[in-house]
Amino acid sequence: MYFTSPTFGRLSLEEVVEQIRGYVASVPDAAYKLVIGSDSHTTEEETLLVSAIVIHRVSKGARFFFRRTRLRPIYDLRQRIYVETAESLALAEKLGNVGLFDLLEEKDVEIHVDIGNTGQTRTMIQEIVGWVRSVGYTVKIKPEAFGASAVADRYTK
């Protein structure tokens, strides 16, 4: 599993974790949030799923890493939102398994989901938010879900 960083280029998951550890260690007294979000874009040929990991030094900037996955076309919006959310949760699980959450309190890990109170996804808010919360994470939806709707979305085109 490889990620891309605009600053550091192509990195393995372990290298991403080391970059995040170094970023946090450089200003250890700052407040941090770890944000995980996914977005996708479907064409006739494929669905491009992008997952982003953002380490946000609250009020003082951030670093991010993203991963692109090409899937068969998924035309159904509901199914695509479920795939995006499942990918974000799986990535959060992997980051927890490699010890990244030891740097942060659990409340500082957020899953950003590309749904909101306007548009077609508004009917999914209760079920998706309930799902993410039931797994134990804080969930953000648009307009607060910048990890999905800004960072990941930027790399889906």
Which pTM does this prediction carry? 0.94
What is the rounded distance in angstroms from the CA atom of residue 70 to the CA atom of residue 41?
Answer: 10
| pLDDT, greater one: 99 or 93 | 93
Mean pLDDT value of segment 124-145:
96
For the stretch 49-96, pLDDT in tens is 999 999 999 999 999 999 999 999 999 999 999 999 999 999 999 999
Q: What band does 105 get if pLDDT is binned at 50, 70 and 90? A: low
Q: In the prediction, which pLDDT does 107 show?
A: 59
Q: What pLDDT is attached to residue 76?
A: 97
The tokens for 4 are 């891309």
Q: What residues pair up with 55 in beta bridges, in sequence order?
A: 34, 63
Can you tell me the distance from the alpha carbon of 45 to that of 28, in angstroms, rounded to the nearest whole number? 45
140 sits in which H/E element: strand 138-140
The mean predicted confidence, pLDDT, of the chain is 94
